[in-house]
Amino acid sequence: MKVRIVKTASNASAVQVVRYHQNKRVIMSHIGSAHTEEELKGLLLQANEWIKSFSSQLSVFPDESPNKIIHLNHSRFIGVKYRFFHQQIKDLQKQIGLDDLPALLNDLVAIRIFEPASKLRSLELMEQFFGVVHSRKTYYKIAPNCIELKQKIEDKVVAFAKANYAFDYQILFYDVTTLYFETFEEDELRKNGFSKDNKSQQPQILIGLMVSKEGFPVAYEVFSGNTFEGHTIIPSINNFIKKNEVKDLTVVADAAMISTENVKQLLINKINYIVGARLGNIPTSLLDTIDKSIVREDGKSIRLKTDNGYLICSFSSLRYRKDKYEMEKQIEKAKQVIEKPSKTKKLKFTQTDGIEISLNQTPSQKVCKLV
């Protein structure tokens, strides 16, 4: 087969694919007519591609790319599908043992990782990005039953953590987050509260998440959106201990989780804990002890026994420089306010007797000990 160019009555260049059989020309395909050199080049490329496709023969020239032509003039962009990402998430869910859950639930998890959105919007995004179609009717059908899957899912993830991360319940990390809803109406669970998503006008729920030392989630609890996060740790950890019959556990949490009452409850329930301490709130006598005992070298630490357990303090030269700079900046700002009094709100290092503003040395002395 060969490519043939003939002139038409309108002075255009017709491109054809022809072959000769018994000295007769047979037109295999009429590719099109070109009126410009650019159009002619495009038609010639199409003709050669047609011959390759029709003959189903590989080129005898190994340096020739078989897919070098994209006919943009005859193509239409219909979108991008991220099927590889979707398949990877499905494979991970299968490894953990979650592949027997409703397909829609697993797909909602995948799209939540890919692009967080409302549940109904997620149905649209699944079709757009993954090419996966689920109806709203299916979601409304399975949604009421999903809450019953909580224990089943936790059993599976704990079993996976044991098998793959040697999880033995000895140490557990705990923290909370908030999830808001695309509505302004509250109910008994969805309540307005302190929002970590800066959506204070929209109702939310509070999620308490427990993870292994590798960061693999093993359990969670749900609380109403107006719950103080410090009130979640004791019931969450106690429920986890009870469900899994744990005998010895150490929970790690940040300072926001720990109050005097929480420490008391942890001690009563014989739960070991490691939390971030707020040194600014500790008694002056203990602060003096830390100031005298600590070695101001990177990596050095001290261990002091207190009524709430052992307090471990370490020194950081980087944190020292930062805190010292912040303190000096605040003191300088306080001095400026003293020199030129105004209606500026009270600063950390200033004090007033009702008549004059003066420098308050007490907090600066405390900060000096902390740095």
Q: What's the chain's average pLDDT?
A: 86
- Contact predicate 236/221, CB 8 Å: yes
Instruction: Give the pLDDT mean for 282-286.
Output: 83
Structure tokens at 312: 């471990």
Instruction: Give the pLDDT mean for 274-295.
Output: 83
What integer pLDDT is reported at residue 18 of this predicted model?
A: 94
The CA distance from 206 to 223, in Å, is: 5
298: Cβ contacts below 8 Å, ≥ 6 apart: 315, 316, 317
- Contact predicate 4/18, CB 8 Å: yes
The CA distance from 287 to 291, in Å, is: 6
Give the whole-number percent of the chain exceeding pLDDT 70: 87
- pLDDT category, 256, cuts 50, 70, 90? confident
- Report in angstroms the alpha-carbon separations of 326 from 134, 224, 264, 330, 358: 54, 38, 34, 6, 20
End-to-end Cα, the chain, rounded Å: 86
What integer pLDDT is reported at residue 345 of this predicted model?
A: 58
What integer pLDDT is reported at residue 17 of this predicted model?
A: 95
What integer pLDDT is reported at residue 367 of this predicted model?
A: 59
CA atoms within 13 A on the CB side of 197: 18
The CA distance from 221 to 273, in Å, is: 19
What integer pLDDT is reported at residue 268 of this predicted model?
A: 87
Residue 72: other Cβ atoms inside 10 A: 9
Instruction: Give the pLDDT mean for 169-196.
Output: 91
pLDDT tens-digit profile of 43-84? 998 898 898 888 877 666 655 555 555 666 667 887 889 999
Res 240 pLDDT > 90: yes
- pLDDT category, 275, cuts 50, 70, 90? confident
Q: By C-alpha distance, which of 15, 56, 9 is closest to 37?
A: 15
Q: In residues, how long is the chain? A: 371
pLDDT tens-digit profile of 155-180? 999 999 999 999 999 999 999 999 98
The CA distance from 171 to 248, in Å, is: 9
What integer pLDDT is reported at residue 77 of this predicted model?
A: 81
Res 289 pLDDT > 80: yes
Q: Which of 171-175, 274-278, 352-356 has the lowest mean pLDDT?
A: 352-356
Instruction: Give the pLDDT mean for 89-103.
Output: 96
Res 363 pLDDT > 80: no
Give the whole-number percent of the chain exceeding pLDDT 90: 49
pLDDT tens-digit profile of 120-147? 899 999 999 999 999 999 999 999 999 8
Structure tokens at 270: 């014989």
What integer pLDDT is reported at residue 55 of this predicted model?
A: 84
What integer pLDDT is reported at residue 67 of this predicted model?
A: 52
Res 364 pLDDT > 60: no
One-letter amino acid for residue 13 of the chain? S
Spell out the domains of the chain, with CATH numbers in brackets: 2-74 (no CATH), 83-148 (no CATH), 167-276 (3.30.420.10), 317-370 (no CATH)
Res 252 pLDDT > 90: yes
What integer pLDDT is reported at residue 63 of this predicted model?
A: 57
What integer pLDDT is reported at residue 200 of this predicted model?
A: 83
Res 350 pLDDT > 90: no
196: Cβ contacts below 8 Å, ≥ 6 apart: 177, 178
Instruction: Give the pLDDT mean for 328-346.
Output: 74
The CA distance from 40 to 7, in Å, is: 12
The predicted model scores a pTM of 0.67
Cα radius of gyration (the chain): 35
